[in-house]
Structure 1
Amino acid sequence: MTIPLPGRPSDLMFLLSWASHALRAEHAANLAELGISPRAHCVLARARGGGLTQRQIGELCGVDKTTMVVTLDQLEATGLARRVPSPTDRRARLVEVTAAGEQVLGQAQEISARVDQNVLAALPDEEREVFLRAIRRLVDERLSGAGACGAPGSVY
């Protein structure tokens, strides 16, 4: 494998990292108008169905315990989510999305879909379908395990 030139990555890790960074930055910039981060968006989306502890949501979002507490503190302070005692484990807290959180989450989902569509629109339809199928297969199969630097699914 050749060493990528600055500004022109050429190997898989750099290409995926570059694309991921650019997409996260665009996503964050667009969500900023709602006053939330991509991490907060992920937490709200995972909490929407109810019944999950903050630990479970943190694992699903690839967020460590400390960052999850800070994220939930911010979501509670803005009235978008709340922590309630678990009926089955007095030590655990379930995360609930408030009515205001549902509204913001709906807007965030629309923004996220718009960003995705805009990015994918750079590819012709037939390439877009092949790309999405291939990246899903890699993520579901070969790249599904935890790497040395983080948990599976860690994106924020």
Structure 2
Amino acid sequence: MTSPSPGRPSDLMFLLSWASHALRAEHAAGLAELGISPRAHCVLARARVGGLTQRQIGELCGVDKTTMVVTLDQLEAAGLVRRVPSPTDRRARLVEVTPPGERILDQAQEIAARLEQDVLAALPEAEREVFLRAVQRLVGERLSGAGACGTAGSVC
């Protein structure tokens, strides 16, 4: 199979997009076995820390208000989260992960970790840390601006 690239062999945008699409597809397939989506996984992971409102979790996951409500409705119907009134703001609801949600989240985290290990195993061991550091640096610095994960309209 030839390298998937519409232009130059090192077309960064296309290569990162291709890698992201492939990772998302594998992640979604693994999570489907648990009956959750990658978005639900993100919401559960962010809610686990406790004390966060629906709006705060939506912002952390890059999910708009309407999509967040739908996602929480699904998670609540499945018994994985519950929404409780905020003690400091009558209008806000805090999201709590239930014990069944904790179990599903633990399994989802294991799926994500296995996927990450499998993908990184495709690189020589000496290149794995360098690759991760380089991507983290790009995302934390140059690519941290508009359109980054966690901004309205993005899905992480």
TM-score (norm 1): 0.91
Aligned to 1:120: 120
Runs (4+) off by over 6 Å = none
Aligned to 2:59: 59
1:1-156 equivalences in 2 (<5 Å): 7-9=4-6, 10=9, 11-147=11-147, 151=151, 154-156=154-156
Query: What is the alpha-carbon root mean square deviation over aligned residues?
Result: 2.2
**1:121-142, Cα deviation, whole Å (9 max, x unpaired):** 0000111111101000001111
Give the share of equivalent positions with the same residue, in percent: 83
**1:17-69, Cα deviation, whole Å (9 max, x unpaired):** 11001000000000110000010000000000110000000000111111101
TM-score (norm 2): 0.91
Shift of 1:147: 2.6
C-alpha contact (below 8 Å) 2:53/2:93 kept by paired residues: yes
Segments of structure 2 that go 5 or more residues without pairing to the other structure are none
Counterpart-to-counterpart distance in 2, 1:53 and 1:19: 32
**1:108-131, Cα deviation, whole Å (9 max, x unpaired):** 000100000001100001111111
